[in-house]
Amino acid sequence: MRMYKLTFLIAAAALAGCAAHPDPIVDMKGVDPEKFAVDWEECEAYTDEIDISKGAAKGGALGGVVGAAAGAVGGDAGDGAAYGAIAGGTRSGLAADREKQQVFKRCLRGRGYRVLN
């Protein structure tokens, strides 16, 4: 039971970190702000094609199955499934968020901007 609580706390901390990630830092020297604003919006539109909720749902389902199996060994399949679903959903959601960030930065770089982070 203690391991499940630890998993839950790690998942909650990871979600908080995900929500706090910064926007890309772009070297603005010599950049036309109006063109940059248009490019920013267009690159952001590409990232909207990545569905974080779908990945999180799949990860949650898989985590629930694995957690239930582990919980059954420990005596409480229900708790195991719940904590496994949280951990799996969080992990998949974070992976999708990282992918969105990478797509956004690659798009900006592809348009000639110097992305610093």
| Cα–Cα distances in angstroms (integers) from residue 84 to residues 15, 76, 92, 94, in the given order | 15, 12, 12, 15
Residue closest to 70 by CA, chosen among 53, 83, 54:
83
Specify which residues 87 forms β-bridges with: none
pLDDT of the residue at 20: 47
| pTM for the whole structure | 0.55
pLDDT of the residue at 47: 87
Helix, strand or coil for residue 26? strand
Quickly tell me which residue has 């909720």 as its tokens.
53
| Cα Rg, the chain, nearest whole Å | 19
- Segments making up each domain of the chain, as ranges: 2-110
Angle, alpha carbons 68-71-75 (nearest 5°): 130
Eight-class DSSP state of 95: H
Residues of the chain with pLDDT under 70: 1-22, 52-85, 87-90, 92-93
Q: How far apart are CA 51 and CA 67, in angstroms?
A: 24
